[in-house]
A and B are shown apart, each in its own frame.
Chain A
Amino acid sequence: MGNKLRIAIVGGGIGGLTLALALRQRGFEPDVYEQASELAEIGAAVALSANSTRELRRLGVLDAVTAVSTEPGELIYRDWRSGRRIAAHPVHERLTYQRLYGAPYCGIHRADLQRVLSLALSGVGLNLDHKLTGVRDFGGATSLSFANGRTVEADLVVGADGVRSLVRRFITGSDDTVYSGTSAFRGIVPVAKLPMLPDPKAIQFWMGPDAHLLHYAIGGDGEYVNFFAVVEYPKVWPHGDKWLDPVGPGEAVAAFKGWHPAVLEMVAQHLPVRWGLFATRPVLHWYRGGVVILGDAAHAMLPHHGQGANTTIEDAITLAELLAGVAPTELPDILARYQALRRARTRKIQRSSWVTNALLHLPDGPDLSDRNQRVARFPQDFGWIHRFDALQAAQNAKHSIQAVAAHA
């Protein structure tokens, strides 16, 4: 009966597509509305950790994901200038990560992940060229209007529409986006063009004063390196709603002056844009009536734990599992339960990513020995992020609702 629920998903990114897949697996027929005319994420990769790859396995797409991704050999922290290994933790080596957390760690191009997910959906229910312009609640149902003139009605609208979410604006009535005071250069470079790089298949953080460089390999054979170089400026983002700012080719090299040659060699090959790094301030309400948000729309975070996409996938699985087999009348309870399950966890990771930014950007000096001890402990300290089982958590919550209902 729950399958009759009309579900509209706004946004065909990782969150929207994962949700659509998880809902289809549970017998729903959701529609996805994506503003772009094709599914093509540009110029960026994503690191998938066990908390999301265990869900991709349950969705039947993990093999397709691992075929086009790389599991890093080690997680290595290095000094910005000397390149000294400050701490190193095995990941693929001796299959340490998978043994610890029950699923692999995958460096993958976003476009590849999007392709795997949309192939699994066979394009069913995918509506491109649908840019959302309005959300209207008229008691019991919600209507969505799009720039192409179309209007659709749904019992449940899920905003998977990113950090600048229009759906979130409908829920909270405000713009909850905050600029972090940090920005990034990115690029994807063939390993062959990085002759100075030690350990090209590792995921590595190069940490220095007011900046860091993160990189990891992607592709089926680790043939490319995806990098992300963060600097502590501009303090105020002067480009309004645009989070990409065109920059000249020498910009990143100037920003990393004095860093290790391997760093300079890599950042020199950045895309000609600077990314402003934005987050969502913790919002009290993730839903209003039959309208709910997930992923960056609900909790955009700084990328320093590499958890934006992973927590988005967790959100999608949680929501789909809570909705399975539920009557439309139970929707308010389900959405409340979803918010309760997701808000604390994502806020902790959001907060922790924020704090980690400062740790990665310490100047040379006495604080470094404390930092070095902390990065040596990272796997133990952040195991809670990777160990999490979203499906299990949703099922436990569901059983507790049913148990209460049975006693009522």
Chain B
Amino acid sequence: MQREKIEAALATIFETAVGKRELAPTMRLQEDLDLDSLTRIDLAITAEDTFGASIPDEMLERFVTVGDVLRFFDQAAQQQPVEFVGTRR
């Protein structure tokens, strides 16, 4: 459920960012999707708002593939109680 949500959110973000909805975990952010560092921030903000977890800037630069992003959000989501999602503090 959580993973589906993450994948759906990611698909939307990528669609807005690079006009591409069909994503494979092996796709490389920079080379295959042309995702620049500012678009990475849109991705981080949307994910933060969705999952209530903070993603440090340095982490953004370390993502190489779509799979890396998915894994990170998966882990972040697991560390947060479900009822935290979508609420403030």
Chain A residues engaging chain B, CB cutoff 8 angstroms: 281-282, 284-285, 287-288, 340, 343-344, 347-348, 351-352, 354-355
Contact = CB atoms under 8 A, between A and B. Distances in A.
A174 to B, nearest CB: 11
B54 interface: yes
Interface string B25-39: 000000000000110
Interface stretch (B2-10, B41-49, B63-71): B41-49
A343 B45 contact: yes
Interface residues of B, number: 14
Interface of B: 37-38, 41-42, 44-45, 48-49, 52, 54, 56-57, 88-89
A284 B54 contact: yes
Q: Is the interface of A mostly helix, strand, loop or mixed?
A: helix
B58 to A, nearest CB: 10
Q: Is the interface of B mostly helix, strand, loop or mixed?
A: helix
B56 A347 contact: no
Given A288-B88, A354-B57, A348 B52 contact: no
A284 B57 CA distance: 13
Nearest to B45: A344
A300 to B, nearest CB: 14
B57 A344 contact: no
Nearest to A340: B49
Nearest to B39: A348
Contacts of A284: 48, 52, 54
Contacts of B41: 344, 347-348, 351
Nearest to B49: A340
A348 B38 CA distance: 6
B81 to A, nearest CB: 15
Given A347-B45, A348-B38, 16 more contacts: A282-B56, A282-B57, A284-B52, A288-B89, A340-B49, A344-B45, A347-B41, A347-B44, A347-B57, A348-B41, A351-B38, A351-B41, A351-B57, A352-B37, A352-B38, A355-B37
Contact of A351 (B37, B48, B52, B88): B37
A287 B48 CA distance: 15
Contacts of A281: 56
B45 to A, nearest CB: 5
A352 B60 CA distance: 13
A78 B85 CA distance: 49
Contacts of A282: 54, 56-57
